[in-house]
């Protein structure tokens, strides 16, 4: 390997990323997550809510739809759905394609909602500008979805307040679905709140766990989500990661935990 190749490989930016990852192993950096996500709204396309590799984001969305579709298709016409932390409206729009008869309330910061109403408007979608931890509706929902929202609330008191509101807003026999990176390990944690913490919290709220799984093999997600891989090179590595996840344990090794609760 030539000196030039080495110099290009280890640029100051790559060194910064390496140091940042090393620090994450030992130090949990708490910050104002609200301000962080408000700024992210200005990032291009799905990088506003996911990662910089847009093709990777699309692969994840395809698998996310596969997980969600059976639940949304079984809902009765005109059922009310809450997409909490809807971001720029990608999932809210996905929901209406899966079942056009549903009424979707989609909640997020004003900065995200401004983008969502422009890029992902729909007659069945009611966009609402509000923080997730402060949103409450007297209208019961047949299904509440958190797609990476609750785990992003780093203030645990606010996180649990949002979980409490979810349990209150969910209709009897309704479903609460989370596809969320819940972790206690410094390296992966947004909020230091694991999936077992979520399960324990809802056990006293009349919610019963129906499914516990996961998506995105975390070592490969770390490797690929912000990489320059594209096309078949990216897809092969993504699919290999999900095969390894299935072999090693679909929940423990997943970056995004899949939790489905039913209100009894």
pLDDT tens column, 84-120:
999 999 999 999 999 999 999 999 999 999 999 999 9
**Is residue 251 classed as helix, strand or coil in its secondary structure?**
coil
Measured distance CA(245)–CA(257) in Å, rounded: 12
CATH fold of 3-263, please? Answer: Rossmann fold (3.40.50)
Which tokens belong to 250?
């679909």
Measured distance CA(219)–CA(9) in Å, rounded: 20
**Is residue 78 classed as helix, strand or coil in its secondary structure?**
coil
Among candidate residues 123, 166, 172, the one with its CA nearest the CA of residue 145: 166
Which tokens belong to 178?
């989370």
Q: Are strands 170-180 and 254-263 parallel, antiparallel or unpaired?
A: antiparallel
Q: Is residue 187 within a helix (H) or strand (E), and if so which, with residue range?
A: none
Q: Is the pLDDT of residue 125 over 60?
A: yes
What would the pLDDT profile of 189-244 be if each residue is shown by its tens digit?
999 999 999 999 999 999 999 999 999 999 999 999 999 999 999 999 999 999 99
Measured distance CA(47)–CA(86) in Å, rounded: 14
Query: Is 0.85 topped by the overall pTM?
Result: yes
Cβ-contact 148, 91 below 8 angstroms: no
Q: Is residue 257 within a helix (H) or strand (E), and if so which, with residue range?
A: strand 254-263
What would the pLDDT profile of 128-183 be if each residue is shown by its tens digit?
999 999 999 999 999 999 999 999 999 999 999 999 999 999 999 999 999 999 99
Gyration radius of the chain's alpha carbons: 19
User: Taking CA 126 as the corner, what is the angle to CA 80 and CA 216, rounded to the nearest 5 degrees?
Assistant: 75
């Amino acid at each position: 390997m030539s000196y030039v190749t080495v110099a290009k490989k280890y640029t100051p930016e790559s060194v910064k990323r390496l140091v940042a990852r090393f620090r994450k192993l030992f130090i949990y950096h708490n910050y104002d997550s609200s301000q962080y996500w408000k700024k992210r709204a200005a990032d291009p396309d799905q990088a506003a809510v996911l990662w910089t590799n847009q093709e990777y984001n699309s692969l994840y969305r395809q698998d996310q739809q596969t997980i969600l579709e059976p639940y949304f298709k079984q809902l009765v016409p005109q059922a009310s759905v809450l997409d909490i932390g809807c971001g720029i409206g990608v999932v809210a729009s996905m929901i209406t394609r899966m079942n056009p008869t549903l009424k979707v309330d989609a909640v997020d910061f004003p900065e995200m909602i401004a983008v969502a109403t422009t890029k992902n408007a729909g007659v069945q979608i009611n966009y609402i500008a509000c923080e997730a931890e402060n949103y409450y509706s007297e209208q019961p929902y047949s299904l509440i979805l958190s797609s990476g929202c609750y785990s992003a609330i780093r203030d645990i008191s606010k996180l649990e307040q949002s979980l409490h509101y979810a349990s209150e807003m969910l209709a009897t026999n309704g479903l609460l679905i989370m596809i969320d990176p819940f972790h206690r390990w410094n390296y992966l944690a947004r909020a230091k709140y694991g999936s077992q913490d979520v399960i324990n919290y809802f056990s006293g709220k009349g919610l019963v766990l129906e499914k516990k799984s996961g998506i995105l093999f975390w070592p490969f997600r770390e490797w690929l989500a912000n990489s320059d891989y594209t096309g078949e090179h990216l897809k092969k590595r993504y699919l290999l990661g999900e095969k390894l996840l299935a072999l090693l344990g679909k929940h423990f090794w997943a970056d995004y935990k899949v939790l489905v609760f039913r209100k009894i």
